[in-house]
Structure 1
Amino acid sequence: MIDPMTWRTWKTRGLLLAFWTALALSYAASAVISSRAEGRATPWGGVLVWMFCNFYLWMLLTPLVAWLGRLGGKDGWRRFLAVHLPASVLVALFHTVVALSAYWWISGPSPSMKDRTLVDFLRTSAVYETHLAWITYWVFVVALRAVASRNHLRDERLRNSRLETQLVQSQLQTLRVQLQPHFLFNTLNAISALALADPMQARAMITRLSDFLRLTLEERHAQQVPLSRELEFLECYLGIQQVRFRDRLVTHMDIAADTLGAFVPNMILQPLVENALHHGLLDKPERGTLQVMARREGDELRVEIVDDGLGLPTEGTTTGIGLGSTRTRLDMLFGGRATLALSRRDSGGTRVEVRLPYREQPA
């Protein structure tokens, strides 16, 4: 089996060879066509030999020019000129001598120069060809620097993207750490209140709390989970609250089947449900109802948490840990594409609506 790195190396070399070959053929065709248009019969053989000697030599010199480009690309223009001014002259002279010598040895002297030597041939053609090689060198340097700058910009963007992703993950983890103690303290306070009044219920709550923590730890590294998994967390949490509320709490789950595979932020529902229970249903003297609904609407997932509790305070809403952290997480994960809205119900109680992009893969 061919190693992937070896395959990529040979693929790159093959592409370079094809590029320089195509360049040599196109220049040869242009030279022959131009000569014949001017009434001069120029044989293909000599032109092809010269073009291949010329361009294949530049192909072999490309790594050297690229290295010189990297060397001269540091520490500003002074270093750039200090490296490339002498290098351009030396490389141009080297290219001219080698290319002309190779052409002389392969094709032999032309009829007009059959009585002259290689030195005479070099002296005749060196000035013109060196000038062209010098210009070609600078075109090379500019092109290679442009490619290097583009690659550097791409790598910098990729690095910044990775840093931003790590920052978001760190911030989300901090928010989860903030949320979990908030939930644990409330639950432990409830267990403490039940310990003397109803030890059996306190034990049942401890068991459900351990199940909830186990599920949480299993997904501790996941920033997003399928809605079906999130509903497992929520059902476990509601089991704890059912012990706490006893027969004063009725829950309904109205979840569309086509939403179960949608990815949502981990533990996004628990703080919203906790907010509804704590601020809407806890102080309600009679039985209260909590409903959780999920629907897909085009490219959006709409989740609603509705209660028939005491409703929002007349002085307006306050943003506690649960709502504040949820808004922050939605903003970090989805930006302006996700919203959280809190509103009064005409029939009494509160409605929380979350809209976020529908995805079956994590964002």
Structure 2
Amino acid sequence: MREPTLDLVALIRDTLREAMRSWRLPATLVLGIGFGVLEAEATQRDVALLFGPFAALYTLLLGPLPWRALLPLEEDGRRGEKLVRALFALAVATALFSGLVTLYRGFAGAVHIYRVYAMGQPREVLVAWLLFLIGGWGLARDIQLEQRLDRTLGSHQRLAAQLAAAQLDALRADLDPHFLFNALNAIASQCASDPVAAEDNIVRLSTLLRAVLDTRQLALHPLDDELALARDYTGLLQARYPSMRVSIERDDDLAAVDVPPLVLQPLLENAVRHGRVSDGTITVTARSQDDDLVLTVRSPGAFDGPRAGGLGLDLVTRRVALAWGERGNFSIVAEAAMTVATVTARGVLRVGGR
């Protein structure tokens, strides 16, 4: 596929911009000063020091133009067409070099130097012509390769961002079907025995499902919203486990903090599924420690390692990594007869840290 055709003004502007990037301008000036020193020594005139930088800048700014315009890096035309374009680029480059020779000699005459060193005799002009061609072609290819690399890196970054967003969407949508089935069964049994409780739980379930849909496009949402979802989720669980007790607390200075949606839900699910909910209280806390946010779920029953086929804890790890990168961490350990799951986000409470 051919690169889009650039008009001359746009091509010159782009070449000027690329010439100022990274090493090109300093390296060109160093080479030009070297040629200027040779010219000054040959002519015994200090003003000849200006010849080298002038010729080098001319080569830097105009030398790449014919090669960039006529030989795109990803040109896929026929070999004969490529040859014609290369010859045409060579002719244009030679014309530009002739302009350089004219300006070079004109400048020498203006400062009363009548025997220039670099472009005096035919052999010297031939060497300078070859340097101009090779330098212009090399600069053109360097610019084209760097721009292609920039496009490739930009494309990879966009794809990585899209992949991360898709992964977050998939992770947020992961609400255990067994939980939904059990919640609906519990609500159905309450309809006859406790219609008010059944109605409350229908509202909780509706709120929870709505939150899953509403947060699909969000990498983060308010901590208070996450804690409200945790209350709805545990409220539904209590319909099935009436003896289960839950405590949810946060520090007062965390009202404006954001967290990944549904990051607590798998931890609560794990606490109920693998713990002893009738033997104590499940405690959810959100604390600030210096500039770090620390979310903790403590539940009865000592943690004895991940269960085969379990995905919930892995989901938490991935959610934390996608939301906070290297600043995020998830751990789960046994402390005496308790399981303690902790999500830490380092530095997110610092101004501008989120």
TM-score by length of 1: 0.70
- Kindly indicate whether residue 307 of structure 2 is the aligned counterpart of residue 304 of structure 1: no
Selected match of 1:42 from 38, 41, 45: 45
Whether the 8 Å contact between 2:29 and 2:53 is mirrored in structure 1 is yes
Name the counterpart of 1:94: 95
C-alpha distance 133-238 of structure 1, shift in aligned 2 (>3 A): same
The 1:217–1:11 alpha-carbon spacing in structure 2 relative to 1, beyond 3 Å, is same
Following superposition, the deviation at residue 207 of structure 1 comes to: 1.9
| Equivalent in the alignment of 1:162 | 158
Q: Give yes or no for the alignment of 1:67 onto 2:69.
A: yes
1:359 lines up with 2:348 in the alignment:
yes
Q: 1:87 to 1:300 in 2, by over 3 A?
A: farther
Residues 1:225 and 2:221 are matched in the alignment:
yes
Deviations 1:38-83 (A, max 9, x none): 6x55384x88689758854763453223224525x657xx99x957
Q: Deviations over 1:148-184 (max 9, x none)?
A: 2233223222222222222232233223223264443
Task: State the secondary structure of the residue aligned to 2:207.
Answer: helix
Which whole-Å CA distance do the structure 2 matches of 1:212 and 1:350 have between them? 25
Q: Which amino acid aligns with 2:342?
A: E
Residue 196 of structure 2 aligns to a residue in which SS? Answer: helix
Task: Provide the rounded CA distance (Å) in 1 between the counterparts of 2:264 and 2:128.
Answer: 70
Instruction: Give the letter for the 1:256 counterpart.
Output: D
In 2: Cα distance, 1:192 partner to 1:14 partner: 69
1:144 maps to which of 122, 140, 148:
140
Cα distance in 2 between the residues matched to 1:218 and 1:244: 26
Which residue number corresponds to residue 171 of structure 1? 167
Give the aligned partner of residue 129 of structure 2.
Answer: 133
CA distance in 1, matches of 2:205, 2:322: 29
Q: CA RMSD in A?
A: 4.7
Instruction: Name the CA distance, whole Å, in 2 between partners of 1:258 and 1:238.
Output: 24
Which position in structure 1 is the counterpart of 2:270? 275
Residue 317 (structure 1) shift: 4.2
Q: Which moved more, 1:89-98 or 1:99-108?
A: 99-108
Number of equivalences: 336
Q: More helix by proportion, 1 or 2?
A: 1
Is the 2:66–2:92 contact (alpha carbons within 8 Å) kept by the matching residues of 1?
Answer: no
Contact 1:216 1:233 in 2 (8 A): no
* 5+ residue gaps, structure 2: 1-8
337-346 or 83-92: bigger deviation? 83-92
Amino acid at match of 2:66: L
The residue number in structure 2 matching 1:344 is 334
Instruction: Report Cα offsets for 1:84-132 as digits up to 9, x if no partner.
Output: 974675345323433344566777699898xxxxxxxxx9745422431
Where structure 1 has 5 or more consecutive residues not aligned to the other structure, the ranges are 1-5, 114-122
The structure number with the bigger radius of gyration is 1
Cα offset, 1:276, TM superposition:
1.6
Deviation at 1:216, TM superposition (A): 3.5
Cα separation, 1, equivalents of 2:125 and 2:310: 77
Q: CA deviation at 1:14?
A: 8.2
- TM-fit CA distance, 1:195: 1.8
Distance change >3 Å, CA 136–CA 277, structure 1 → 2: same
- Greater mean deviation of Cα atoms: 158-167 or 51-60: 51-60
